[in-house]
Chains A and B, each alone.
Chain A
Amino acid sequence: MAEMAEGGGGGHGKGKKRAKKSSTRVDMTPMVDLAFLLLTFFVLTSTFSKPKMLPLAYPSKVDDKTDVKGPKMNNGITFLLSEDKIFYYQGEYYFKGHIAPDGSVTELKEADFGPGEKGVRKLLGKLNNYVLVKKQGLDEKLKRKEINDSIYLKKLDGLRVESEALKVLIKTDDKALCKNFIDLVDELKIAEIGVIAPVDITPGELQLMKEKLKK
């Protein structure tokens, strides 16, 4: 136990006279109780992981009157989201009456957020291989200090939107949850995808997804 300094620096006669030695030990138990109470309070209330923000650029609204046809996507993938379900197809959307050059119509494939073969991460890793491999090259250059941080970031941004890089469209139905959407965007960011466009679903695609969901 801590003890109070006795006599408190008084070497005077007066002090000596008064010195009837009573106990100078201070009971510290209440203070310690309080200290632990506060400790418990702060431990339980403090949150350490500060929220972060995930930037996402939406396509700007196009005036309905001007009939702007989007650029032809030859290196795109479209994800369709429903509640905890995720489907995708590659390339353009082909339907009866507008079939692909080889005569096929679009079929949806199912994916999931797991680490397995059907996982989105593996799929994107394969499809966006071009960017990921080049990014590794940049990483190594950065490590060897051949380029500095700002050049690295600039090159990375440029790389992500090259024509060989994968472009992604996200479409959701009325049951999709925000969690599904953010999870997908997160996977896209992990896969270094630069062009992410959340757009409206077309009735044809909605129909395709409904059929898939019934199975």
Chain B
Amino acid sequence: MTPMVDLAFLLVTFFMLAASFRASEPVTVNTPSSISDKFIPENVIMVTIDQDGRVFFNLSGAEARREMLTNMIGKYKMKLNDEQIEKFTFMSTFGCTMQELPSYIDTGADDRITFQTKGIQVDSTTTNELYDWISYAGTAALNSAKTGFEEAKLKGENPDAEDFKPKFILRVDSKTKYQKAEDVINVFRELNLNNLNFITSSELAPIN
């Protein structure tokens, strides 16, 4: 039995180390597949569009998220207490209108999946909330990219500025209508952000 137990523990150790845990997402998305082999970098601004066309948003980095939120509540003249702001900085993907934001933050992480919302407002006659989220996220992400770059420089590394630049990523469900994605893409294009990336699961390239 000893060899078997040895093997079992070896496998446990392997899978434990190989497993990567993700924070629970408020939305499930089955991405399409492609042959692309580009890894997703650290500094990202990600817009998720689920099957029904609801829009969710995510920005990496706690500091950047705090900066983005402060700008947003400033613009929309809202009041959030310190606890809510703190909670927001550790939240991953979120999707709600600015009005719903305080109650969305107060909802527990596991209950957000059932939170009744239409997602982030993309297009309306008066305000376009996604536009504001993206533009504030863009500046915040650039700032954190700068600090990251400077820190790497101080450490004596030879950093490539390209590696720190924020990437704009779209995560769409296979069954999302392309038109819904196009609405979001048009918001990016309005901000002159034309280099977008789609998240895909990998697929084997054809051998020719």
Which A residues form the contact surface with B (CB < 8 A)? 1-2, 28, 31-32, 35-36, 38-39, 42-43, 45-61, 81, 121, 172, 174-183, 185-186, 189-190, 198
Give me the interface of B with A, judged by CB distance under 8 Å. 1-2, 5, 8-9, 11-12, 15-16, 18-20, 31-40, 49, 167, 169, 172-179, 181-182, 185, 188-190, 192, 194-203, 205-206
Does B201 lie within 8 Å of A49, measured CB to CB?
yes
**A46 contacts B18, CB within 8 Å?**
yes
Known pairs A54-B199, A182-B174. 17 more at Cβ < 8 A? A2-B2, A32-B8, A35-B8, A42-B16, A42-B19, A51-B31, A54-B38, A58-B185, A58-B194, A58-B195, A174-B179, A177-B175, A178-B32, A181-B178, A182-B200, A185-B34, A190-B205
Query: With the chains together, A176 CA to B200 CA distance in Å?
Result: 18
Q: Which residue of A lies closest to B41 (CB)?
A: A53
Closest 10 CB pairs of A and B: A42-B15, A179-B174, A53-B197, A182-B32, A186-B34, A46-B19, A54-B36, A178-B172, A176-B178, A178-B176
Q: How far, in Å, is A5 (CB) from chain B's closest CB?
A: 15
In the bound assembly, the distance between CA atoms of A121 and B35 in angstroms comes to: 14
Flag if A53 contacts B32 (CB, 8 Å). no
A190 touches B178 (CB 8 A): no
Chain A residue at minimum C-beta to C-beta distance from B16: A42
Q: List the B side residues contacting A51 at CB < 8 Å.
A: 31, 40, 199-202
Determine how close the nearest CB of chain A comes to the CB of B29; give it in whole angstroms: 10
B15, B18, B197: which contacts A55 (Cβ < 8 A)?
B197
Q: Name the CB-closest residue of A to B197.
A: A53
B8 contacts across to A, CB distance below 8 A: 32, 35-36, 39
